[in-house]
């Protein structure tokens, strides 16, 4: 039997033609064989990230392996381990970080395995979790068996890395939000945004949650959003300034990017930190650099998540400090419906695929 081939087959979601809408189908392909440092994971849940939508629609192409199986928000159960795997065994419940990681380079050893020197994106440069099984490096997997309980099930665990850990990284490690600071979260009703609201709230911030979906107003307040601003076509910075006695916000956690940049920038206080977490349009923005200088502002990027933050997110969920918001689950066969819901920004929180037969 050739390397990487297995006589067992599984169902996997494939992108036959990118577009809006894309042509998607479920095909039977061989179950992957884990390499010596990999584990074969039976996928129980895989979140449908905006990243996946950008690839499906053809907006994001760079670094995408041809024919790759998408999906990087993976939870599942280890079914088989490679000969050199030492920390995982069959039956362990795991979630993956967003990239594969060698576990040996300087960054991996420094706790920055999400920026591994040889790392490629899971569900981007190598196959991801929109399939019944995925083979992943041991070092990209975090064991969560002990954290599963009534508030954290196998499906909601798929959100622990992205978007929950990603939100924690931006709020805690990058923005370094301090108690009492005012924090604006844009795209607050989206999968990343609802968890960014919670992450900022958990750090003691006053959160101004910005959403363009009137139907989501009222759903964000219980998550910690103190003021909910419905932007529509309006410039929300006027409202932020009005709510902060013209000071502006100490931090803007921006999950939307260029379409909201003018408002996000104008919302920022002196010494403010603008943390960019998402870019939905891929377009340049215009700014006079003097404005950054004289505002003593910091413009920061944040993506990915380390294993430590995934573990922190799991602990926070167990203690009731954060809540994974799964909007709806879908079978792989219903991916086109899920795409159209996400494209219309309908869901509050995350859509999650449940690839196992009989789930959904
Ligand atoms: Zn994601
Ligand atoms: Zn590495």
Task: Give the confidence band of 150 by pLDDT, cuts at 50, 70, 90.
Answer: confident
Expressed in angstroms and rounded, the spacing between residue 73 Cα and the centre of ligand 1 is 6
Expressed in angstroms and rounded, the spacing between residue 141 Cα and the centre of ligand 2 is 13
Q: What is the pLDDT of residues 6-32, one digit of tens each?
A: 589 999 999 999 999 999 999 999 999
Expressed in angstroms and rounded, the spacing between residue 39 Cα and the centre of ligand 2 is 17
Q: What is the pLDDT of residues 163-182, one digit of tens each?
A: 999 999 999 999 999 999 99
Question: Which residue, 146, 144, 188, 180, is CA-closest to 163?
Answer: 188
Expressed in angstroms and rounded, the spacing between residue 100 Cα and the centre of ligand 2 is 8
Considering every ligand atom shown, identify the ligand nearest to the alpha carbon of residue 95 and give its number: 1
Determine the Cα–Cα distance for residues 327 and 321; give it in Å rounded to an integer. 19
Expressed in angstroms and rounded, the spacing between residue 339 Cα and the centre of ligand 2 is 33
Kindly report the pTM of this predicted structure: 0.93
Expressed in angstroms and rounded, the spacing between residue 118 Cα and the centre of ligand 2 is 6
Expressed in angstroms and rounded, the spacing between residue 338 Cα and the centre of ligand 1 is 15
Expressed in angstroms and rounded, the spacing between residue 350 Cα and the centre of ligand 1 is 10
> Residue 71 — left, alpha, or beta (φ > 0 → left; ψ -120 to 50 → alpha)?
left
Judge whether residue 307 has pLDDT over 90: yes
Considering every ligand atom shown, identify the ligand nearest to the alpha carbon of residue 103 and give its number: 2
Cβ-defined contacts of 280-289 (< 8 Å, 24+): 280/50, 280/54, 280/256, 281/257, 282/59, 282/60, 282/258, 283/258, 283/259, 284/258, 285/258, 285/261, 287/261
């Amino acid at each position: 039997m050739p390397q990487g081939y297995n006589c067992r087959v599984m169902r996997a979601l494939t992108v036959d033609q990118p577009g809006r809408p894309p042509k998607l189908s479920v095909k039977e392909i061989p179950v992957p064989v884990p390499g010596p440092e990999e584990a074969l994971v039976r996928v129980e849940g895989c979140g449908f990230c905006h990243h996946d939508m950008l690839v499906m629609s053809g907006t994001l192409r760079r670094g995408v392996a041809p024919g790759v199986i998408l999906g990087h928000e993976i939870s599942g159960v280890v079914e088989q381990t490679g000969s050199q795997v030492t920390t995982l065994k069959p039956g362990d419940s795991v979630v993956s970080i967003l990239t594969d990681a060698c576990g040996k380079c300087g960054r991996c050893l420094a706790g920055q395995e999400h920026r591994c020197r040889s790392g490629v994106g899971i569900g981007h440069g190598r196959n991801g979790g929109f399939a019944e099984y995925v083979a992943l490096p041991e070092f990209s997997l975090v064991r969560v068996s002990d954290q599963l309980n009534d508030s954290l099930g196998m499906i909601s665990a798929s959100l622990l890395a992205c978007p929950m850990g990603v939100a924690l990284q931006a709020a805690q490690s990058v923005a370094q939000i301090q108690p009492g600071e005012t924090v604006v979260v844009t795209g607050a009703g989206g999968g990343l945004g609802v968890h960014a609201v919670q992450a900022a709230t958990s750090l003691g911030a006053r959160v101004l949650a910005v959403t363009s979906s009137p139907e989501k107003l009222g759903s964000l307040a219980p998550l910690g959003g103190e003021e909910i601003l419905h932007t529509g076509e309006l410039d929300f910075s006027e409202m932020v300034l009005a709510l902060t006695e013209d000071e502006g916000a100490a931090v803007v956690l921006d999950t939307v990017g260029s379409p909201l940049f003018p408002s996000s920038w104008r919302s920022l206080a002196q010494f403010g930190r603008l943390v960019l977490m998402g870019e939905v349009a891929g377009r340049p923005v215009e700014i006079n650099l003097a404005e950054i200088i004289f505002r003593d502002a910091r413009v920061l990027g944040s993506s990915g998540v380390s294993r430590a933050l995934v573990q922190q997110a799991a602990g926070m969920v167990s203690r009731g400090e954060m809540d994974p918001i799964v909007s709806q689950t879908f079978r792989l066969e219903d991916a086109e419906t899920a795409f159209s819901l996400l494209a219309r920004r309908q869901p509050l929180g995350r859509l999650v695929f449940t690839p196992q037969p009989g789930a959904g």
